[in-house]
Amino acid sequence: MKTKITELFDIEHPIIQGGMHYVGFAELAAAVSNAGGLGIITGLTQGTPEKLANEIAKCKDMTDKPFGVNLTFLPSLTPPDYPGLIKVIIEGGVKIVETAGRSPAEYMPALKDAGIKVIHKCTSVRHSLKAQSVGCDAISVDGFECGGHPGEDDIPNFILLPRAADELEIPFVASGGMADARSLVAAMALGAEGMNMGTRFIATKDAPVHENVKKAIVNASELDTRLIMRSLTNTERVLTNPAVDRLMEKEKALGEKLTFSDIVDEVAGVYPTIMMDGDMDAGAWSCGMVAGLVYDIPSVKELIDRIMSEAEEIIQSKLKKAV
Ligand SMILES: Cc1cc2nc3c(=O)[nH]c(=O)nc-3n(C[C@H](O)[C@H](O)[C@H](O)COP(=O)(O)O)c2cc1C
């Protein structure tokens, strides 16, 4: 399948694996890129520029296809060493960066001077337009369904994607709630040039996370996610568990008085324990509503091949026969 996104990133299939904290390591990124999609290493998970440089080198040993690095710009009192991370991305010869969180404007000159293509992930049309205006090459339009941070507008992809199509000049992929061939064909009908998946890629053989995480996603339904940290304007969609119940009790009790320190036990530093040790109740972890559409744990290649062949089937038989 050829779209503006496959052409922009020089990939075979219009499928991107979004950056994911403690999931987006070289193993997953390389598996996605080897299968013809675009794999992405999560920059901040690596911790330091040196460690990111090692992960990039490892990924290069595992694939000769294009892959990217995610840089999530978070509000922080002690911000990560973004210039250092960008330096090793450039030195490592990575040609694609997925940005998320705040606007990447400050870092665009460094990225563009190095010939890097930037896809910014955001949850609204206005942020997409801002990203376009600062020189981003593409947008990952992340609907309300998404795992992780859906923003505060609560606009699902059936509205957000065609709205983006009506406003944007640069290409965009649909992100949030994407699981299979039906997602891809629908996203393209709504104006996207491909799709970005997070949760679906965790439940694959290649994702370097504990089996318990994969099983939790397969066992979850579309009813099992919760929105937390709304009153902190830092809404996150997570899979429900006893830690999330505890956190939500505190949110209910404290209301607008809630501060980050009240919920630090449930959210801070919990990812390694969950993703590596498989302690599923250690805290709140991002997961999309799309878990309800995840029924198995295939290899990344099996998943992508299946999506592409079923997408062709939907287009060639169902859609063509209908007209
Ligand atoms: C466990 C997990 C961790 C994530 N971590 C990040 C992150 O560090 N940075 C980021 O930009 N997006 C992150 N995301 C969001 C994904 O890249 C992607 O946008 C989102 O999962 C898409 O929605 P979906 O889960 O419905 O496919 C994370 C998502 C999950 C499920």
Contact partners, residue 168, CB within 8 Å, separation at least 6: 125, 128, 129, 132, 139
* Widest Cα–Cα separation across the chain: 58
Q: What is the identity of the amino acid at 273?
A: T
User: Ligand 1 pocket by C-beta < 6 Å: which residues?
Assistant: 18-21, 23, 42, 70, 72, 100, 121, 142, 145-148, 175-178, 196-200, 285-288, 290
Q: Which atom of ligand 1 is nearest to the CA of 200?
A: 27
Q: Ligand 1 centroid to 18 CA: how many Å?
A: 6
Q: Ligand 1 centroid to 100 CA: how many Å?
A: 10
Domains of the chain are 4-208 (3.20.20.70)
Pocket test for ligand 1, best of 21, 55, 173, 280 (most atoms within 8 A of CB): 21
Q: Ligand 1 centroid to 278 CA: how many Å?
A: 18
Q: Ligand 1 centroid to 321 CA: how many Å?
A: 36
> pLDDT by residue for the chain (323 residues), tens digit each?
999 999 999 999 999 999 999 999 999 999 999 999 999 999 999 999 999 999 999 999 999 999 999 999 987 778 999 999 999 999 999 999 999 999 999 999 999 999 999 999 999 999 999 999 999 999 999 999 999 999 999 999 999 999 999 999 999 999 999 999 999 999 999 999 999 999 999 999 999 999 999 999 999 999 999 999 999 999 999 999 999 999 999 999 999 999 999 999 999 999 999 999 999 999 999 999 999 999 999 999 999 999 999 999 999 999 999 98
pLDDT in tens, 5-61: 999 999 999 999 999 999 999 999 999 999 999 999 999 999 999 999 999 999 999
**pLDDT at residue 74, as a whole number:** 84
The owner of tokens 């949760």 is: 199
The owner of tokens 């169902």 is: 318
Question: Do 127 and 107 contact (CB within 8 A), yes or no?
Answer: no
